[in-house]
Chain A
Amino acid sequence: MDLLEFARGPALQWSISIFIAGVLWRLLGVFLLRSKKDLSEPRNPAAWKGLRLIALRSWPRREFLEGTAFGEVMGYAFHVGFLVSLFFFAPHVLFFADLSRGLIGTDLHGLVGFGWPALPNGIITLLSAISVAALLAVLVHRLVNPVKRLISNFDDYFSWFVTFAPLVTGMAAFAHLAGWPYERLLAYHLLAVELLLVWFPFGKLMHAFTIFAARGTTGMLFERRGASL
C-alpha cells in the first residue's frame, strides 16, 4: 500500500469516523444539557426575536470598527475562500458526491434531482490564494499583537496549522508543484485534510458547528432580558 492508497483508504475512514464521533459527542453533550431555569419575569416575552443576533454579529458594529476591521476583513476573506474552494472545486464536488454515495447510497443528484456545479479553476485558485494570504496575515497579527499573543494557546496555533495545511497542499497538488509527483502531493493533501478532520471536534474549529446556535441562544437570552442587540 503506497502513501496515496493509505491516505484514500484507512486514513480517510478513520479520520471521518473520528470526526463524526467527536462532533456528535460535542454537540449532544451541549444540546442535551438542561437549561437553567430563569425565574425572572421576561422584559420581552418574544425571546425568539433575539435570533436576529445571528445576523447582527456577522457584521461589524460601527462603533468598534476601528478595532475589529482587520479581523473582520481577514475573517471573511479566509472563510469565503476556504468554503468556496472546499465546495466548488471540481474534484471536491466529485469527492462529496462519492462520499454521499458511500454513506447513504446516493448522491445529492440522485436524492433531489440536482447537484451543484463546480466553479472554474481560475476562480478557485484566486480565492484559495486570498484565503492563504488571510491566514498568514492573521497569524502574523496574532504573533505581533501583545494581547493576542498572550491569550493564544496551543489550540489557536494548531487549529491554524491544520486549516492552513490542506489549503497549501491542495494548491500545490493542483499546480503540480515542480519536481513533486502529483500522487504524492495529493496524498499529502488528503493527509492534511484528515488531520483537520481528526482535530476538528476537539479544538476551536468546532465553532463551525456551534457558532450560530451560540449566537441564537445568547440573542434570545438578551431579548428576554430586554438588552439592546
Chain B
Amino acid sequence: MSAPSVGEFLRSRGVTRRDFMSFCASTATLLGLPASLAPRIAAALEQARRPSVIWLPFQECTGCTESITRAHGATLESLILDAISLDYQHTLQAAAGDAAERAREQAMQDNHGRYLLIVDGSIPMGNAGYSTIAGHDNLTMLKEAAEGAAAIIALGSCAAFGGIPGAAPNPTGAVPVGEIVKDKPIINVSGCPPIPVVITGVLVQYLTFGKLPELDALGRPRSFYGQTLHDRCYRRPFYERGQFAESFDDAGAKAGWCLYKLGCKGPTTYNACATVKWNNGTSFPIEAGHGCIGCSEPGFWDKGGFYQPLSTGRWGDARTVGTAVGVGAALGIASAALARKRQRDAEGG
C-alpha cells in the first residue's frame, strides 16, 4: 500500500473539508496569491505525497521547534507539519541514539535528491566539538545531508544568518547554512523564532507548485518578508502624527502610541508579524507593548541597543569630536596668525 496523500492524512486526523479549504484560502492570501487559487492549492495538497523531510538542529535553543510545533495546541499548521514525512528530528522523534541516526541515513538513502532538509541553528566552524549529535560534528552532518537534498530550509535566524551564536564575539565561529552550502537552493526563514505559518506556507507552496517561493535579496520568501513591520503596523498612524511613547509606562504607551522612540526596529525589519501575528493571531510584540527587536534581520543582536531609537548614530567616544575641535581650532588660529603676519608685512612694507 502506497503512503497516504496529504489530503488523506489530514482527513484521517479529523480535519474537516471546511477547515481545510479555509486553511488553503488563508495560505493563498499569505503567499500573495489570488484567493481563486485556493481550490488549486487544496487539490494539489489532496494529491501530494508526503515528502520526506530531514530536520537537523545544530547550535540552537529549540525555540524554532517550539514555535513551529505550536506546543500550546494542535492547529492546522501543526497538522500540515505532521503531514510531511518527518524522518529525522531529534527533539520530536521517539527514536534515539543509533536507531535515530540509522533512520536519518535510511531516509537520506531512500529519498536521495528528493528530500527537504530543514536546518535550525548555526554551524560552529571553530572547534568541531562545540556542537555534536551522536558523535557527529555539525559541519560534516550538514554537508552529508545537503548533498542529497532537493532544497534546504534554513529555519530561524541562527541557521539563516548566524543569529545569537554568531553574535560578537562569536566564540564558536558560528556561520549560517548559506556560508557552507553553495550548490543547493536555500530558503531562509528567519526570525527568532520564525512565525509558524511562514514555515507551513513555504511547505504548502513547495507541495502545491513543486517549486520554491520567490525570494528576496536575503533568500527569504517575498510573500512573508516583502514588507517591513513599520509598513503594516497598526501604530503607524501615531508615527505619522509624531506621537511617541517616551517610556513603557507613560500616557503615550498606555494610549498605544508609536514605540519608535523606545527603540522599535519595525522600520528596518522585514517580517509578517504585523499581519500574521502570533499565538493563533492573538498579537505580536508591538501589540503587546514592546518595540520590534528586528530578530528576522542579519546581525540583529549586534546592531546597537534594543532600546536605542533607529535614527541614532554610533557616536563612538567624545575623543573623536574633541580631536576634531582641536584640529579645527589649531588650523583656524594658525591660518589667522599667518594672515595677520601678511597684513603686518604689507603695512610695514
Stretch at the interface among A52-60, A66-74, A87-95, A207-215: A87-95
Contact B261 A29, beta carbon cutoff 8 Å: no
- Separation of A94 and B318 alpha carbons in the complex (Å): 19
Kindly provide the distance from the CB of B226 to the nearest chain A CB, expressed in whole angstroms: 10
Kindly provide the distance from the CB of A31 to the nearest chain B CB, expressed in whole angstroms: 8
CB-CB under 8 A for A21 and B312, given A28-B332, A182-B228: no
Number of CB contacts from chain A to chain B under 8 A? 132
One digit per residue, 1 when the CB lies within 8 angstroms of any chain A CB and 0 when it does not, for chain B 249-264 equals 0000000000011000
Name which residue of chain B comes closest to A22, CB basis: B328
Contact A98 B312, beta carbon cutoff 8 Å: yes
- Separation of A10 and B331 alpha carbons in the complex (Å): 23
Question: Considering only CB atoms and an 8 Å cut-off, how many residues of chain B contact the other chain?
Answer: 43
A227 interface residue per 8 A CB criterion:
no
B323 interface residue per 8 A CB criterion:
yes
Contact B332 A94, beta carbon cutoff 8 Å: no
- Separation of A17 and B242 alpha carbons in the complex (Å): 30
Contact B310 A91, beta carbon cutoff 8 Å: yes
Contact B311 A94, beta carbon cutoff 8 Å: yes
- Separation of A90 and B310 alpha carbons in the complex (Å): 12
A113 interface residue per 8 A CB criterion:
no
Contact B239 A25, beta carbon cutoff 8 Å: no
Contact A98 B309, beta carbon cutoff 8 Å: yes
Stretch at the interface among A114-122, A147-155, A217-225: A114-122
Contact B336 A17, beta carbon cutoff 8 Å: no
- Separation of A182 and B227 alpha carbons in the complex (Å): 9
Name which residue of chain A comes closest to B329, CB basis: A24
CB-CB under 8 A for A26 and B332, given A13-B316, A94-B261, A98-B311: yes
Cβ–Cβ < 8 Å partners of B339 in chain A: 29, 33
Cβ–Cβ < 8 Å partners of A205 in chain B: none
- Which listed residue (B312, B329, B340) contacts A34, Cβ 8 A? B340
Question: Considering only CB atoms and an 8 Å cut-off, how many residues of chain A contact the other chain?
Answer: 49
Name which residue of chain B comes closest to A117, CB basis: B242
B314 interface residue per 8 A CB criterion:
yes
- Separation of A12 and B331 alpha carbons in the complex (Å): 22
Contact A4 B268, beta carbon cutoff 8 Å: yes
Most B CB atoms within 10 A — which of A4, A26, A34, A183?
Answer: A183
Contact B230 A94, beta carbon cutoff 8 Å: no
- Which listed residue (B239, B318, B328) contacts A24, Cβ 8 A? B328
Name which residue of chain A comes closest to B326, CB basis: A21
Cβ–Cβ < 8 Å partners of A99 in chain B: 313, 315
Contact B311 A20, beta carbon cutoff 8 Å: no
- Which listed residue (A9, A19, A121) contacts B313, Cβ 8 A? A9
Most A CB atoms within 10 A — which of B230, B267, B325, B332?
Answer: B332
B interface vs A, CB < 8 Å? 217, 228, 230-231, 239-242, 244, 260-261, 267-268, 270, 298-299, 303, 309-316, 318, 320-321, 323-325, 327-329, 331-333, 335-337, 339-340, 343
In addition to A24-B329, A24-B332, A92-B311, 12 A-B residue pairs with Cβ atoms within 8 Å of each other are A19-B324, A21-B325, A25-B331, A32-B337, A90-B239, A94-B261, A98-B309, A98-B311, A102-B313, A120-B241, A121-B241, A181-B217
